[in-house]
Copies of this chain bind each other. A is one copy, B any other.
Amino acid sequence: MTARIGIVGAGLIGRAWAIVFARAGMTVALYDVDVTALDKAREAIRQSLVDLKQAGLIEDVEAPLALIQTESDLRRAMADVEYIQECGPENIAAKRGIYAELEAVVDSDTVLASSTSGIAASRFTDQLSHPERCLVAHPVNPPYLIPLVEVVPTPSTSETAVNHTMRLMALAQQAPIMVRKEIQGFILNRLQGALLNEALRLFRDGYVSAEDLDKTVKHGLGLRWSFMGPFETIDLNAPSGVVDYGQRYGPLYRDVDRQRGDDDPWDSVTLAALDKERRERLPSQGLADQQAWRDRRLMALMAHQRTVTPS
């Protein structure tokens, strides 16, 4: 694989993408206007690679590190790249500026993929001369530990750009999915939101503590969902598959929707009560350590998954 990848923005997400591509043997040009950010990024990337090596997930730290070049000149950075992963600020004006600059320095068929989690790419690429090579490739943080990537074309995106991105992500050992039409929150955050909405209502209305709700998922639902999706789970949970399951449980789930409607649980009182319970279990000063624990658990889970039959 001799692909050369450009990354715009050396923040958390940009650095993580650099690891994803370099780990797969691709050359990476990591661009940022801020030279200090680039130096910081290099150190952070090295530390993440050391952690990955300790977890047995990569064999060597220096080889991928050598594939990552940092660069503060956009034209030099983006010379000869076939694919650019944009990780700029989450606002339309900033992204419009970045895409205008990019279009001025790269070939017309270089794919421009945005890491945005919330903005439809059509809103910042429609003004370009070549909007057909633009799309969203939305990662989950950090993408070198959570492989899902949501590939979302705009109405103008070409099939070539979509296929190029899907192939590249698969080569980089990610798990790309195709979101066929733009929709707010894409797929992952809509699913997360639907579950969180009901979770917050159950907590708010006194049915369950936050700790017990978390247990319900980590000792219950989440175990199967870590290697099967929700559809495969229900397909295997009724003797004749999904239709059988729908006949048995559909009415219950319909009631869950109807009883709640769109009653909004994201109010400040509910969040404050949730925060109170969380801070009793984990004081604010412990958040960073717990994030490091989460990443070690994700690494251990990834190492475990490599030892088992995928399906």
Q: CB within 8 Å of B: which residues of A? A: 118, 140-141, 145-148, 150, 175, 177-181, 183-185, 187-199, 202-203, 206-210, 212-232, 234-237, 239-243, 246, 249-264, 266, 268, 271-272, 274-275, 278-279, 282, 284, 287, 290-291, 293-294, 296-298, 300-301, 304, 307-309, 311
Q: A193-B253, A228-B214, A236-B287 are in contact. Are A304 and B300 (CB under 8 A)?
A: yes
Alpha-carbon separation in the docked complex, A266 to B234 (Å):
13
**Number of identical monomers bound together in the oligomeric complex:** 2
Beyond A223-B226, A294-B236, whether A198 also contacts B194 by CB under 8 A is yes
How many Å lie between the Cα of A271 and that of B190 in the bound state? 20
Q: Are A185 and B298 in contact (CB-based, < 8 A)?
A: no
* Bound form: Cα–Cα A11–B30 in Å: 59
Contact A240 B282 (CB under 8 A): no
Grouping DSSP codes into helix (H, G, I), strand (E, B) and loop, the A interface class, with mixed when no group exceeds half, is helix
B192 touches A230 (CB 8 A): yes
| Interface pair A278/B241, CB less than 8 Å apart | yes
Pairs across A and B, CB under 8 Å, 27 listed? A145-B223, A175-B215, A175-B220, A178-B208, A179-B208, A187-B212, A189-B253, A191-B199, A191-B202, A193-B252, A197-B253, A214-B232, A217-B229, A218-B227, A222-B224, A222-B226, A223-B226, A223-B301, A228-B294, A231-B274, A232-B278, A241-B287, A243-B272, A254-B262, A297-B308, A297-B309, A300-B304
